[in-house]
Every structure is written in C-alpha cells, then in structure tokens.
Structure 1
Amino acid sequence: MGVRRAAKGFAEFLVETVGEAVAEALLGALACALLLCLGFLLHLSWSFSPRSTVLGLGVLSLLLAYGGWRTFRDPVEGGRRRGIAAVTTAFFTLTATTAVFLLVHGTGCDCL
C-alpha cells in the first residue's frame, strides 16, 4: 500500500515538474517572439519615416503618461472614466502588463 502511494506521489511530482518546464519554455518563446516583433516593427517604422516614428513614439509617451496619471490619481466622487480617459487607462495597463511580462520572461531570451 505504501509503495503505490509513493509511486503515485512521484508520478504527480513528475507531471507537475514537466508541466512547469514546458510552460516556462512556452512563455520564454512567447517573450522572445514579442521582443523580435517589437524590434522589427520599430526597424520597419524607422526605415519608412524617422520623423513619423519619433512623432508616433512621442504621442504614445503622452498617452502612457496620461493613462498612468488617470490610473494612480485619487478618484473623483461619483465620476467614472469615460472616453479618452478609459482608453488611455486601458492602454497604460496593457503596456505595463506587457513590460512586466517581458521583464520576467524576456530577460533569459538569447535571441537578441
């Protein structure tokens, strides 16, 4: 009876360990692919028009700054986010989440 329980426990441990290794490899590959796509898009944009690239990055920076300001400021009583405030807040949240994902999983990417 004890041997079966030990074998079952070892099998569960093995499945969990292999599952975590596969998941880590998939997340690493996804982070590497995301970094490559972002770099390719930046290169493509710069080769098309450097001025438009700088202007676009400036606009994105302003949207991120406004979204961060709207996210972390004290909420107004009875008010909810509408229009551009909701869009910039969602954009800021998506960008921050992507940055954290790349920081955690993209640091081990040897594709660069």
Structure 2
Amino acid sequence: MGLFSKPEVVGLQVGDADRARVDALERRVAALEAQLAGLLAAGTPSGAPAADAPVAVEPWLAEVQELRRAGKTIHAIKVYREHTGVGLKQAKDAVEAMPG
C-alpha cells in the first residue's frame, strides 16, 4: 500500500482504517522529524553548527539527544518511543542516527 493509496484492511470499518492510516502517518512524520533534528544537531562536516540550522523544536527531543550523548541509548530509545509512538526498530534507528 502506497502512502496515498486506499487502505485495504480486512475487518476494519472505513473510519477505523482511516484512523489507523493517520496514526501510521503521524508515526512516520515524527520519526522523520527526529532524524532531521539529529542531522541538524550534527552540524556541518567541520563540526560547527550550520548558521541557518533551526534548533530542535521539541524539548523531549533535546532530552533524547542528551541521553544519547551520555551513553544512555536504551533510555533515549524509550523516551523517543513514548513521544512518537514508533516501533522499537524505528526508534532505535532514529536514536542511533543522532550524534553521540
């Protein structure tokens, strides 16, 4: 099923399928935002932050990044999952992509 194709979910009402699809999209967007924030936090290749790079908007994301830098990756993944609702693998990949 593509991003904008009709849901083909067996056993769900149309409203349920729409809600499930919106929930899945929200989780994907949250994961992408976190990955982008991690990349922006990494700064330029020289290590200096990019001049026009925005600061992480969500305070919980700053907490996740700090936990990651402190070597508390498992706790960082837990916080990330609590705020995004993504699965363990997605959260692990997003947190590990952040600068450490």
Which TM bucket (shorter chain)?
Answer: 0.3 to 0.5
- The TM-score with structure 1 as length reference comes to 0.39
Relative contact order, higher structure (CA 8 A, sep 6+): 1
- Structure ranking higher in helix proportion: 1
Structure showing greater radius of gyration is: 1
